[in-house]
């Protein structure tokens, strides 16, 4: 019995040292992640890279956005389509026509560096509201003729 208790004590001491090392490593990584996140500030409202999609209202009666004032002068509200697995994600941001959108995938758990960004085609979509209005008018005309 004394040998078993001694063995348990040795194994527990080894476990406690391993746990203390892992806790210290985790604390170091968390400080590095906090700095990483603080260094990557989100762009200001209407600036290049700011999100410009219209959020769902979910019944909160948000005011209608004014398309002319979403993005600063010289920028347009545009979209980039990014394949994620078998799905396609659309991200709408303020940018300039003809540029590439740089998408950084989510950072993994306790990763202390951002993953490599990928470049995707960026297309201005502000003119799409005119196309949608024309399509709606056409659909209404066809409905009325039927």
- Any idea where the domains of the chain sit in the sequence? 1-41, 43-145
Q: Give the percent of the chain with pLDDT over 70.
A: 79
The phi and psi torsions of 87 (rounded to 5 degrees) equal -105, 165
Q: What is the pTM of this model?
A: 0.60
Most confident of the ranges 16-30, 94-108, 127-141: 16-30
Mean pLDDT of 41-48: 80
The reported pLDDT for the residue numbered 64 is 56
The Cα–Cα gap between 100 and 117 comes to 11
CB of 62 within 8 A of CB of 55? yes
The reported pLDDT for the residue numbered 21 is 96
The reported pLDDT for the residue numbered 60 is 61
Which residue do the tokens 């019944």 mark?
59
């Amino acid at each position: 019995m004394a040998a078993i208790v001694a063995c348990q004590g040795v194994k527990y001491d080894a476990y406690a040292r391993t746990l203390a090392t892992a806790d210290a490593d985790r604390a170091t990584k968390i400080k590095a992640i906090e700095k990483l996140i603080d260094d990557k500030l989100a762009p200001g409202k209407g600036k290049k890279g700011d999100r410009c999609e219209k959020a769902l209202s979910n019944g909160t009666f948000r005011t209608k956005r004014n398309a002319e004032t979403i993005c600063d002068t010289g920028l347009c509200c545009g979209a980039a389509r990014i394949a994620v697995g078998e799905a396609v994600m659309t991200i709408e941001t303020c940018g300039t026509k003809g540029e590439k959108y740089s998408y950084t995938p989510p950072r993994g758990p306790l990763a202390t560096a951002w993953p490599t960004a990928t470049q995707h085609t960026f297309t201005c979509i502000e003119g799409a509201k005119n196309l949608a209005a024309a399509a709606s008018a056409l659909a209404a005309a066809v409905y009325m003729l039927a």
